[in-house]
Amino acid sequence: MKKLTLTTLALMAAGSTTALAQETRTIDQAVNETFATVTGPFVNFIFSPLPGTSFPWIVMWLVVAASVFTIYFGFIQVRGFRHSIQLVKGDYSDPNDAGEVSHFQALTTALSGTVGLGNIAGVAVAVGIGGPGATFWMILAGLLGMASKFTECTLGVKYRNEYEDGTVSGGPMYYMSKGFAERGLPGGKILAVVFAIFCILGALGGGNMFQANQAHAQISGILGDYPGWITGIVFAIVVYAVIVGGIKSIANVTEKVVPFMGVLYVGTALIILLVNFDRIGWAFGQIFEGAFTGLGIAGGFVGALIQGFKRAAFSNEAGVGSAAIAHSAVRTKEPITEGLVSLLEPFIDTVVICTMTALVITISGLLIVDPATGNFVLDGNSIKTVGDVSGVSLTSAAFATGFSWFPYVLAIAVVLFAFSTMISWSYYGLKAWTYLFGEGKTAELVFKVIFCIFVVIGASASLGPVIDFSDAAIFAMAVINITALYFLMPIVKREMNSYMSRLKSGEIKRFKH
Amino acid sequence: MSAKIVIGLDGSGSGERAVAYARKQAKLIGDCELIAVYVIEWSPYSFQTPEENEERHKRRNEEIAAAESRIVSPAVKKLKGDGFSARGIVKHGHVADLLNSVAVEEGADQIVVARSSDGGLASRVFGTSTANLVMTAAVPVTVVG
């Protein structure tokens, strides 16, 4: 009340705008502090280090899982890569199934949920803290993660629910409950429920708040500083119009524009790299040297490794289980084919797009190096940058060194990427929500309204607590999902061996198109 | 051995002109089967939202049912009623490719399509499909003006 009176008085005064700015900043701060306090214990647990080290157990968990799947399936990401591309091209699609969801469509739908801010802002965070060396670990994690994605998406299709009206619902919740029952294992239902809870948190965190936060950072970088909740409310209204109001035209336009934005982003990065052709060798040198020495960053080589692995997992979501929801709608008689197609996702997302961003940031020279030692100059935990930029602003500034107009294009791209990721994650969250509370208009509406409220919170909070909570929620999904994958991987292996032998014998035929 | 003619339907007046011409041909030939084909434009390379994917199978069935009940079945029924041997096919995909592939599979002697005289985007698209068909077909094509 006191604050309100002060604001009213200030509004009447001549310097009303300054006072309003201060007042709104207080709202942002209040949201930020409350948010950090509430989510703190959960975040601390997820990122607690292995005893006696500074290495978070969760990162180890993801990398070990990806390595286990890679070995268990005999380097399927290498063996199956060519066949994956043939499947996406439709070489093995039955022409009689035309009109159903194609492998290409399932892949691009899943990609539109993952390609986005993780590739632009997430990589900048990784490189800003972990140095160029983080890129090396990010690529490695991306390559290994292809096997995790293969495992979860095969199961997603195999155990999806197909309803009488022809619609489908799939995802980890379904393979946990049905797959465990099929193998005679207990606890599948419990895992499914816990996963669904974390999936809802992940949808609100990484799939929502992080997106809103970085979209605001990008817009305010261009329009000038203004309170985050304003962006939040505008975004929330548009998201509400799509997911509650059913205004499909907005989603449709976004789905069609986003791929072009992706191509434009990679194209611009390629041009910047081509122009700086002579520095690419040096940049890779920095990446390799930094990967094993850290080049003076906080935490040394382990710091680079942690950042690289963390951001790769956050960006491509391998092992998290979200992709299993997106991929499960494909029309195929062979679940393994969707697993093979899905392994392209971490490749495109992390190995190609994230690496582009990292190379452009490294080449831009925005990371300040001490000429005497060749090491990076630190500012707290992160590397000092020209113009003191971090997150998406760092990527924007790095691209601006090549094309001064690029921040404007990037701002549009970020807003669209953020929006399409939010729409995808609102769907993943909703699937988890309806799994818990049953399908029904009221239950769905409650989730959708909560989702929109979190858009506002995400845009108002500062980057640190938002990133921490987003990561923690998404990694919590991975804890449950990967546990289930370990138990269910023999099923995937059986499917894989059967499919591969039939492919080799010619029983599975290539269709002429 | 009877002759076969594939007719491209588009749910508009131009499709009916193609049917009218095919009937004339069939009468002249005598022993001739008419195959009415309606293609629902669809590409496996379009971008879709998760909701669209979830409902795709259902929508596909609805699209096929609608095309059959509104366009193909009435056309086939009328042909049969007039004493012709006729049947209908509904498919998803690229119009020119599919009319050709149906004709090849069925061993048809010719394809009859109409050049759309109507304005508007849909007819323009159909016009382009006709041009594509003429250029790529492995079977003789008659374009009715």
Q: Are B29 and B39 within 8 A, CB to CB?
A: no
Domains and CATH numbers, chain A: 85-505 (1.20.1740.10)
Of the candidates A144, A146, A76, the one whose C-alpha atom is nearest the C-alpha of residue A114 is A146
Tell me which DSSP letter residue A78 carries: H
- Work out the percent of chain A whose per-residue pLDDT is above 70: 94
- Tokens describing residue A182: 């099929």
- How far is residue A316's CA from residue A325's CA, in Å, rounded to a whole number? 14
- Give the number of other CB atoms < 10 A from CB of residue A203: 30
Q: How confident is the model over A403-412, as a mean pLDDT?
A: 86
Residue A13 scores a pLDDT above 50: no
- How far is residue A295's CA from residue A68's CA, in Å, rounded to a whole number? 30
Residue A17 scores a pLDDT above 60: no
- A165·B60 Cβ contact <8 A: no
Window A:83-112, CB contacts with B under 8 Å: 90, 93, 95, 98-106, 108-109, 112
| Residue A10 confidence (pLDDT) | 39
- B48·A98 Cβ contact <8 A: no
| Residue A108 confidence (pLDDT) | 87
Place of tokens 């056309």: B75
- A166·B64 Cβ contact <8 A: no
Q: Are A279 and A363 within 8 A, CB to CB?
A: yes
What would the DSSP string read from start to end of B106-121? HT-SEEEEE-----SH
From B55, which residue of chain A is nearest by alpha-carbon distance? Answer: A167
| Residue A34 confidence (pLDDT) | 81
| Residue A36 confidence (pLDDT) | 80
- Give the number of other CB atoms < 10 A from CB of residue A283: 20
- A99·B40 Cβ contact <8 A: yes
Residue A280 scores a pLDDT above 60: yes
pLDDT-derived band at A264, boundaries 50, 70, 90: confident
Q: How confident is the model over B99-124, as a mean pLDDT?
A: 78
Looking at the complex, report in whole angstroms how far the Cα of residue A118 sits from the nearest Cα belonging to chain B. 20
| Residue A9 confidence (pLDDT) | 39
- How far is residue A142's CA from residue A312's CA, in Å, rounded to a whole number? 6
Looking at the complex, report in whole angstroms how far the Cα of residue B53 sits from the nearest Cα belonging to chain A. 6
Q: What angle do CA A180, A184, A187 make, to 5 degrees?
A: 50
| Residue A141 confidence (pLDDT) | 92
Q: How confident is the model over A8-12, as a mean pLDDT?
A: 40
Residue A3 scores a pLDDT above 70: no
| Residue B116 confidence (pLDDT) | 59
Looking at the complex, report in whole angstroms how far the Cα of residue A98 sits from the nearest Cα belonging to chain B. 5
Mean pLDDT over the full length of chain A: 85
Residues of A in contact with B56 (CB under 8 A): 99-101, 329, 331
Domain boundaries, chain B: 3-144
Of the candidates A443, A425, A442, the one whose C-alpha atom is nearest the C-alpha of residue A326 is A425
- How far is residue A263's CA from residue A268's CA, in Å, rounded to a whole number? 8
Residue A444 scores a pLDDT above 80: yes
Give me the residues paired with residue B8 across strands.
Answer: B37
Amino acid symbol at A393: S
pLDDT-derived band at B119, boundaries 50, 70, 90: low
CATH number belonging to domain B3-144? 3.40.50.620
Q: Are A409 and A399 within 8 A, CB to CB?
A: no
Predicted complex ipTM exceeds 0.95: no
pLDDT-derived band at A463, boundaries 50, 70, 90: low
- Give the number of other CB atoms < 10 A from CB of residue A309: 28
| Residue B44 confidence (pLDDT) | 86
- How far is residue A20's CA from residue A2's CA, in Å, rounded to a whole number? 14
| Residue A14 confidence (pLDDT) | 40
Report pLDDT digits (tens) over A69-86.
999 999 999 999 999 999
Report pLDDT digits (tens) over A188-215.
999 999 999 999 988 988 888 888 988 8
pLDDT-derived band at A160, boundaries 50, 70, 90: very high
- How far is residue B139's CA from residue A244's CA, in Å, rounded to a whole number? 50
Lowest-confidence pick of A11-15, A126-130, B97-101? A11-15
- B42·A255 Cβ contact <8 A: no
pLDDT-derived band at B120, boundaries 50, 70, 90: low
Torsion, Cα of A431, A432, A433, A439 (10° steps): 50
- A331·B61 Cβ contact <8 A: no
Q: How confident is the model over B5-13, as a mean pLDDT?
A: 86
pTM: 0.85
- What is the phi/psi pair of residue A302, to 5°? -65, -35
Place of tokens 């080589």: A301
Helix A441-460 / helix A406-437 crossing angle, nearest 10 deg: 140
pLDDT-derived band at A15, boundaries 50, 70, 90: very low
Q: Are B8 and B139 within 8 A, CB to CB?
A: no
Lowest-confidence pick of A128-132, A246-250, A320-324, A454-458? A246-250
Amino acid symbol at B142: T
Place of tokens 């084909």: B37
Q: How confident is the model over A271-300, as a mean pLDDT?
A: 86
Looking at the complex, report in whole angstroms how far the Cα of residue B105 sits from the nearest Cα belonging to chain A. 13
Q: Are A282 and A108 within 8 A, CB to CB?
A: no
| Residue B124 confidence (pLDDT) | 55
